[in-house]
Structure 1
Amino acid sequence: MGALVTLELPDDSPAHTMPWIITFGPLGEQDGDWEPVVCGPYERAHALALAETVVADEELMAVVEPLLTLITVEEIRAELAATQAAGDEDPGDYGDLDDLVGGGADAEPQERHVEPSPPPSPEEVRAGMARIASMLTTRS
Structure 2
Amino acid sequence: MKHLKYELYRNTETTIFEFKSIGPNGEITKVIIFNATQSKEIYNLAFGDLIYDEVHKRYILDDSIITNNGDRNKILATVASSVYIFTEKYPKKMVFFKGSTLARTRLYRRALSINLEELSETFIIFGSIKNEFGNVNSVPFKSNGDFFGFIIKRKEL
Same fold, judged at TM 0.5 (above): no
Larger radius of gyration: 1
Q: TM-score normalized by structure 2?
A: 0.25
Q: TM-score normalized by structure 1?
A: 0.27
Higher helix share: 1
Which structure carries more relative contact order (alpha carbon 8 Å, separation 6+)? Answer: 1
